[in-house]
C-alpha cells in the first residue's frame, strides 16, 4: 500500500509539471521570436531623430531599506544595458536625506538623477525628482488626482505587474526556466496595465500628464546564503539590476542636447517628450509620433491647433500592429504598419500603442510601445 501511494504521489507530481514544461517551450518560442525581431532591427538603419536617450526610472539602492543593492551594482547594470540615464527614487528616511546621498551626476558614462519615492498619510505615493517634477506612483492605488503640481503618471510598474503572479506557479516557472531564460521569464507575467491606462486617459481630459514606465528596481527578490561579511556564498537572484533594466525603458527625446544634462532630461520628461519601450522584446529606439501641418511639426507631449491640413504621423522601427487612441478610445487598429499618416478632423487627446504580431502569437496581446499624447486643440 505504501508503495502504491508513493507511486501515485510521484505520478501526480510528474503530471503537475506538464504545464510548466509547456511554459518552458513557450519561452523557447518567445526567445526565437525576440532573436528574429532583434535581427530585423539590426538590419534596418536607425533613423536620425533629434536626440533620443534611453534609460530607466524608479530605482532603489540600499538607502532607505527594502534593498541591499549597491551603487556599484547599479552602475555596472546601467553600463551593461548601454543606458544613457538612470533616475534614482530612494525611499525617504526620517533622519537623513536619501535623495542627497544617492547616485547623481555622470558615473561610467551614465547620467544619474537623484530623487525620492514619497508616501502621504493617505497612502498616495509620488516619485519626487529635481526641478519640482512629481510623478504619480502606483496609480491604481492613488486617490488625490486633484493634487496641484502633478507632472506625470507611472502607468506601468514592474513590481505592480509581477506581484499579481501566483506564487506557486512562479516557483515552478523559476525551477523550469530561470536558468535558461532569466529575462524572458518576465514575459509570461507581463500584462497591459489596463487600470492605470484608464485612469491616465481619464486624467488627460482635465490636464497634461506624462506617462512613464517604472522599473521599481530593488534587486531584493531571491534566496541567498551569505557569510558574516555579507559576501554571497550561494543562492539565486531573480531581479538583479542587470535584468530589471532590460524589461522596460523610458526613451526621451530632446532637441539640442548633444551632451545630456539633468535639466534637459527632466524638462523633456515634464513636457512629455518621451515614450515607454518594452525593450525586452526588441529595441524600440526610433519610434516617432508627430503631428504636422504645412507650417509646423509637434512631437509627443506637445499641443497643435486643429487646421484643415492637420495630420498625425506614426513611424515604427519594424512592421507592427498600431493602435491610435482618441480621448481613451481606439480609433485605429491596423497591422503591418511601419509608417502611417492620419488626417485629423476633431480636437482631442491622441496617443499610440504598438504591438508585435510575432510576440502576440506566443504570449498574447502585450504592448511593445506606449506613446505620450499629442493634444489637438
In this structure, what DSSP letter does residue 184 have?
Answer: G
Q: What are the respective helix, strand and coil percentages of the chain, to the nearest 5? A: 30, 35, 35
First to last CA, the chain: 78
User: Taking the C-alpha atoms of 225, 226, 231 and 235 in order, what is their torsion angle to the nearest 10 degrees?
Assistant: 10
pLDDT number for residue 65: 73
Residue 98: exposure state from Cβ atoms within 10 A (0-12, 13-18, ≥19): buried
pLDDT tens digits along 181-214: 988 988 889 999 999 999 999 999 999 999 999 9
pLDDT number for residue 35: 95
pTM listed for this prediction: 0.91
| Average pLDDT for 281-296 | 94
pLDDT number for residue 318: 95
In angstroms, the CA 282 to CA 183 distance is 12
Strand partners, 274: 252
In this structure, what DSSP letter does residue 139 have?
Answer: G
Residue in the structure block whose three cell numbers are 528616511:
93
pLDDT number for residue 67: 82
| Average pLDDT for 266-280 | 97
Alpha-carbon radius of gyration of the chain? 22
Cβ-proximal residues to 49 (8 Å cutoff; 6+ apart), any chain:
253, 286, 288
Could you give phi then psi for residue 112, rounded to 5 degrees? -110, 135
In this structure, what DSSP letter does residue 187 have?
Answer: G
Residue 48 C-alpha from the chain's centroid: 23
- pLDDT band of 236, cuts 50, 70, 90: low
Work out the percent of the chain whose per-residue pLDDT is above 70: 93
Average pLDDT for the chain: 90
Instruction: Kindly list the domain boundaries of the chain, sorted by start residue.
Output: 20-41+48-376
Amino acid at each position: 500500500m505504501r508503495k502504491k501511494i508513493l507511486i501515485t504521489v510521484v505520478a501526480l507530481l510528474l503530471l503537475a509539471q506538464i504545464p510548466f514544461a509547456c511554459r518552458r517551450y513557450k519561452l523557447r518560442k518567445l526567445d526565437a521570436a525576440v532573436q528574429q525581431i532583434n535581427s530585423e532591427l539590426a538590419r534596418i538603419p536607425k533613423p536620425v531623430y533629434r536626440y533620443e536617450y534611453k534609460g530607466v526610472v524608479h530605482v532603489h539602492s540600499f538607502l532607505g531599506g527594502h534593498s541591499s543593492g549597491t551603487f556599484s551594482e547599479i552602475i555596472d547594470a546601467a553600463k551593461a544595458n548601454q543606458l544613457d540615464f538612470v533616475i534614482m527614487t530612494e525611499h525617504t528616511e526620517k533622519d537623513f536625506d536619501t535623495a542627497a546621498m544617492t547616485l547623481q551626476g555622470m558615473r561610467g558614462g551614465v547620467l544619474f538623477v537623484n530623487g525620492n519615492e514619497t508616501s502621504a498619510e493617505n497612502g498616495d505615493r509620488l516619485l519626487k525628482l529635481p526641478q519640482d517634477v512629481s510623478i504619480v506612483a502606483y496609480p491604481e492605488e492613488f486617490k488625490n488626482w486633484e493634487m496641484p503640481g502633478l507632472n506625470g503618471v507611472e502607468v506601468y510598474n514592474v513590481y505592480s505587474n509581477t506581484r499579481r503572479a501566483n506564487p506557486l506557479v512562479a516557483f515552478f516557472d523559476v525551477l523550469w526556466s530561470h536558468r535558461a531564460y532569466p529575462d524572458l521569464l518576465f514575459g509570461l507575467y507581463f500584462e497591459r496595465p489596463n487600470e492605470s491606462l484608464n485612469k491616465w486617459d481619464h486624467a488627460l481630459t482635465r490636464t497634461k500628464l506624462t506617462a512613464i514606465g517604472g522599473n521599481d528596481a530593488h534587486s531584493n527578490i531571491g534566496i541567498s546564503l551569505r557569510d558574516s561579511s555579507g559576501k554571497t556564498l550561494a543562492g539565486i537572484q531573480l531581479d538583479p539590476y542587470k535584468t530589471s533594466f532590460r524589461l522596460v525603458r523610458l526613451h526621451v527625446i530632446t532637441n539640442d542636447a548633444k551632451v545630456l544634462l539633468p535639466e534637459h532630461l527632466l524638462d523633456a520628461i515634464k513636457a512629455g517628450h518621451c515614450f515607454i519601450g518594452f525593450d525586452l522584446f526588441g529595441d524600440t529606439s526610433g519610434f516617432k509620433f508627430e503631428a504636422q501641418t504645412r507650417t509646423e511639426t509637434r512631437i509627443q507631449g506637445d499641443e497643435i491647433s486643429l487646421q484643415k491640413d492637420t495630420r498625425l504621423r506614426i513611424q515604427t522601427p519594424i512592421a507592427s500592429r498600431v493602435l491610435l487612441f482618441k480621448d481613451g478610445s481606439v480609433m485605429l487598429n491596423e497591422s503591418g504598419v511601419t509608417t502611417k499618416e492620419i488626417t485629423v478632423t476633431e480636437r482631442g487627446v491622441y496617443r499610440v500603442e504598438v504591438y508585435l504580431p510575432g510576440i502576440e502569437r506566443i504570449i498574447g496581446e502585450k504592448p511593445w510601445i506606449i506613446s505620450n499624447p499629442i493634444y489637438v486643440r
